[in-house]
A and B are shown apart, each in its own frame.
Chain A
Amino acid sequence: MFTAFFGSVEAGLIYAVMALGVYLSFRILDFPDLTVDGSFVTGAAVAAVLIINGTNPFIASFVALLAGFAAGCITGLLHTKGKINPLLSGILMMIALYSINLRIMGKSNVPLLQEETVITILVEWWQKIGVDQMIENALTSMNLVNFVPRTWAIVVLMAFVVIIIKVLLDQFLKTEIGLALRATGDNKKMISSFSANTDVLTIFGLGLSNALVAFSGALIAQYGGFSDVGMGIGMIIVGLASVIIGEALFGANSIARATLAVIGGAIVYRIVVTLALRVQFLETGDVKLITALIVIAALIFPQFIASQNEKRRKKLKSRLRGEGVAAAKKDYESI
């Protein structure tokens, strides 16, 4: 139980990078970008192929990020210069990337099990400094033997990576270019009247979004030990689920709050899926159905709660008004 839980936090942190990318396109640019399903695999494929050919895994992951950036830019070009509807440009790019990903890998699955990856390097380094041993001793002395995971390396280091990306993203969105990017998603007419080129901003924003998605894909491939051409199917929904769950649970008043919420949402989503799969009659193949149900629930419940609150507030208000009238009547009669 604990191991499964711990595993979902690890995976959740890596998927959080992808979710931040989806947040950037979906919320900041107001562009429902389906490229994600393809660019996630592009990241995984580029990293996997480079690693089995002996490239340093850190460099391989960075190249994967660049590949995602390029894919996003093309979607942006299709939409802005080709005047294709946002959903359609994403779908077209997603379909095109499926073939491109197969070309990159040369086959549908590239295993990385015996390879040195970012994950193995980091875990090795972590074990050298011996933090795990310390935590393990502490937990054992507290009689918490059941709560000793394989290693803390992935959780701690990935949390570190995700927080760095989050902070960089937060800061970027406060710069002059970042503000213009947000305004492009918020009020396009307005920002072009203030001399911003919304086409270039949209292209750049989608590039950045898919760069994060591809980077996440590269890390997932190294974490899971393989890259597969089908690993991106439904990824956009996973990203949306993370964004929506996160915002519903943790709020989205400011950018910094929203990006933190998205990371939280990605982790919560993984935990919910893990828990759901432990139910007897559900199978691994049901994951997509569960995801769809989670997203539907996360979309409907906040509305439902809000309308309930509104009703209650109105009832209260009308009662107060009624009391006010009664009080006024009393005053009037006493005169």
Chain B
Amino acid sequence: MLLQLKKITKVFNEGTLDEKIALQSIDLTLAPGDFVTIIGSNGAGKSTLMNIISGRLLPDTGSILINGKDVTEMSEHQRARYIGRVFQDPLAGTAPNMTIEENLALAYGRTRRRTLKFGVTKKRREFFRETLQTLQLGLENRLNAKVGLLSGGERQALSLLMATFTKPDLLLLDEHTAALDPARADLITRLTEEIVSQSKLTTLMVTHNMEQALKLGNRLIMMDKGQIIFAASGEEKKKLTVEKLLQEFQRIRGSQFVSDRAVLS
């Protein structure tokens, strides 16, 4: 099993009036090559779950295993050796005052110890150029451009590439198309699909877009109030529609699916 979450619980502001149970005893297992999409209403705990897997937050109880190795106590940067991440904010995944090739060199260093050798060598530059070509955005001709000059869509595409071209064991996508306009969001969705299937990356994607959640991946999880309330995989997932998902939610919870951002149709 590639990723195992065992009885993960997280409570914010414990013992105060603002106490909020973000995650309640979550169990989740991902096999190598699984592509799981996560949907859920506001405050369902999707982002908390991502932050706990990436090491930004520590769980109150429970354990996290990657490739059978217990990483629960590992710090964020240590865990990053196994995990590639793309954030919701298109500005968060790249360094704006550094060039495209320097950013790629930073991403290239994810899996190895950084040394006093030059980050961008002739050989690597060629490799970066080839890698950038797969995006078909013409970025391969702008290796020395500062990343801050790129558009939001271009920066998110670059972030996606940077998170994936070193083939992480696990890819975490945290609503990575939510802050983009529809055309850019489509582009990033398409690139995500291509890259994940080509490199057979094990992926966990949070999304607010039900259509996207249905279209991408081989498994789907619905979360509510810190729990996984519905899961579908394989053929069952293929047959799902947005209406069925909403009905399912209503049947389980007895209330309407509430999300100010959910794209329902």
Contact = CB atoms under 8 A, between A and B. Distances in A.
B76 A180 contact: no
Contact of B80 (A180, A187, A194): A194
A194 B110 contact: yes
Interface string B40-76: 0000000000000010000000000000000000011
A190 B116 contact: no
A175 B106 contact: no
Interface in A89-129: none
B253 interface: no
B257 to A, nearest CB: 31
B53 to A, nearest CB: 12
Given A187-B92, A195-B80, A174 B98 contact: no
Given A176-B109, A183-B98, A193 B119 contact: no
Contacts, number: 85
A286 interface: no
What size tier do the contact residues of chain A reach?
A: 20 to 34
Interface string B163-204: 100000000000000000000000000000000000000000
Nearest to A200: B77
B77 A183 contact: no
Contacts of A175: 115-119
Given A192-B77, A192-B80, A194-B109, A176 B114 contact: yes
A220 B19 CA distance: 58
Given A193-B54, A194-B80, A183 B119 contact: no
Interface string B103-117: 001110111001111
B97 interface: yes
A270 interface: no
Contacts of A193: 54, 76, 80, 83, 85, 87, 93, 163
A197 interface: yes
B95 interface: yes
Contact of A190 (B78, B95, B105): B95
A176 B93 CA distance: 18
A192 B94 contact: no
Interface in A141-197: 172, 174-180, 182-183, 186-187, 189-197
Nearest to A253: B146
Interface-central residue, A187, A189, A191, A198, by most chain B CB under 10 Å: A187
A186 B105 contact: no
A179 B80 contact: no
Nearest to B148: A186
Contacts of A178: 119
A190 B117 CA distance: 21
B54 A191 contact: no
A182 B83 CA distance: 22
A179 B106 contact: yes
A179 B77 contact: no
A196 B95 CA distance: 14
Contact of A186 (B54, B76, B95): B95
Contact of B109 (A174, A195, A198): A195
A174 B106 CA distance: 11
Contact of B98 (A172, A179, A189): A179
A186 B77 CA distance: 17
B110 to A, nearest CB: 4
Contacts of B120: 174
A189 B88 CA distance: 13
Given A191-B106, A194-B109, A196-B77, A177 B115 contact: yes
B84 to A, nearest CB: 8
Interface-central residue, A177, A180, A182, A190, by most chain B CB under 10 Å: A190
Contacts of A176: 105, 109, 114-119
Contacts of A186: 95-98
Contacts of B105: 176, 179
A174 B119 contact: yes
Contacts of A182: 95, 97-98, 102
20 contacts: A174-B119, A175-B115, A175-B117, A175-B119, A179-B106, A187-B94, A189-B87, A190-B92, A190-B94, A191-B95, A191-B106, A193-B83, A193-B85, A193-B87, A194-B109, A195-B78, A195-B80, A195-B111, A196-B106, A196-B114
Interface of A: 172, 174-180, 182-183, 186-187, 189-198
8 nearest A-B residue pairs (beta carbon): A195-B80, A186-B95, A176-B114, A179-B119, A194-B110, A187-B95, A183-B95, A176-B119
Interface of B: 54, 75-78, 80-81, 83, 85, 87, 92-98, 102, 105-107, 109-111, 114-120, 162-163
Given A174-B118, A194-B110, A195-B109, 15 more contacts: A175-B115, A177-B115, A177-B116, A179-B105, A179-B109, A183-B95, A192-B76, A192-B77, A192-B80, A193-B93, A193-B163, A194-B80, A194-B109, A195-B81, A195-B110
